[in-house]
Amino acid sequence: MGSSNSSPVLSLNRLFIILVLPLLTFAPPPVLGCFTSIFNFGDSLSDTGNLFGKCVSEEPPHSCFPPYGDAFFHHPTGRFSNGRLIIDFIAQSLGLPLLPPYLSVGRRRINIEDFEKGLNFAVAGATALDEAVLREKGITNLSTNYSLGVQLEWFKNTYSSVCKSSSTATAKCRAILKSSLIVVGEIGGNDYNYAFIDERQNIEEIKSLVPPVVKAIGSAITELIKLGAQTLMVPGNLPIGCNPTYLKVYGTSVQNPENGCVNWLNEFSQYHNEQLLEELKQIRALYPHIRIIYADYYNSAMLFYDAPRDFGLTNTLQICLVNEEETLNTDRKYGYSSLCDNPSEYVSWDGMHLTEAAYKVIAIAWLEGPYTTPRIKTSCISQNVTTTFIQSQ
């Protein structure tokens, strides 16, 4: 699953993404594709604002303050990036509105019109495993308790309250799910982050987390299928050996000379992805009529870690926004010790999360390239995406 600069197939894939990248505007067309809504589960890589309600708390997340959101929204939205996330690009590619966060919509009673528009249940800091299970494994310093199981309960409760009020509502909800894209993940990365970074567990202890993490993802997929989901996209894990926070914790003495990433950490990411692929294979065998799409975070990200300048990126391993200690200034803004001059040329936004520029490369690799299995290009999500979005700059 690793990438290599010498691979002719990878070179062709990279060339395609390079050619398409500057031509895509991701401006929503009037009508595109056959999905009518998106439901998303995950963590900060796809959270569009579920923690925004904590902005008035004593410990608001960094995403409440500028320069988060500056690149596209020009103000903070609760996204842990300087702009759009992959889920935003996917929504725009379908001609759909950006996905509303469940905890924001849920402050009032959710109705079938809300449900029809789709919902985002992803929460920054979320884990695949429940808090009690992680505590048994020595992981206690969790930032949130919004695990995948909790998010799934939110969805099931919403479905029950909205869709079971009448036979007509039930039939409509079934139709909504049938025409929706359900994105499950990325999730599980925080389970490993807590173990690697906070607890400093050894690699064998952390590898023992992989089977239950993957099983939790598989169980959620199965439950969603039973509720009526027909098309699910399941992203794998990013190459954590290229993550600046991991590099700071584990040092740089074992860096790959070609890209600066730590090979053994990347091998762990690949181990998780291999186990996840096997889980998806088993689910496909049980539900052959369901479309389950694996989205390859690892290799699509390695495109710019291996050859950043091909994508207009000049810095892969340094952090654009370097935050100071978790203290609030008198103007209620989190301080930061430095902000890079050109965030659009950086991969890492704040050490754990990527910039909009990096997310855009991954989104295009999924939507237009060969980085999904089966290919999204062969399904309705990407019909006419190229002809719709390719415009002169």
Task: Give catalytic status of residue 350 as yes or no.
Answer: yes
- Decide if 289 is catalytic: no
| Of 191, 296, 353, 379, catalytic | 353
Is 44 one of the catalytic residues?
yes
Q: Is residue 314 within 8 Å of 272, Cβ to Cβ?
A: no
Query: Please, what is the end-to-end C-alpha distance for the chain in angstroms?
Result: 35
Q: In what order do the strands lie in the sheet with 372-373?
A: 119-120, 37-41, 180-184, 231-235, 291-295, 372-373
DSSP run (H or E) holding 294: strand 291-295
Distance CA 342, CA 352 (A): 18
The catalytically annotated residue of 3, 37, 44, 180 is: 44
Which residue's entry shows tokens 């291996």?
306
Distance CA 199, CA 102 (A): 31
Closest among 206, 207, 196, 203 to 246, alpha carbons compared: 196
Of residues 184, 196, 162, the one with CA closest to residue 295: 184
Out of 88, 350, 379, 382, which one is annotated catalytic? 350
As annotated, the active-site residues are: 44, 350, 353
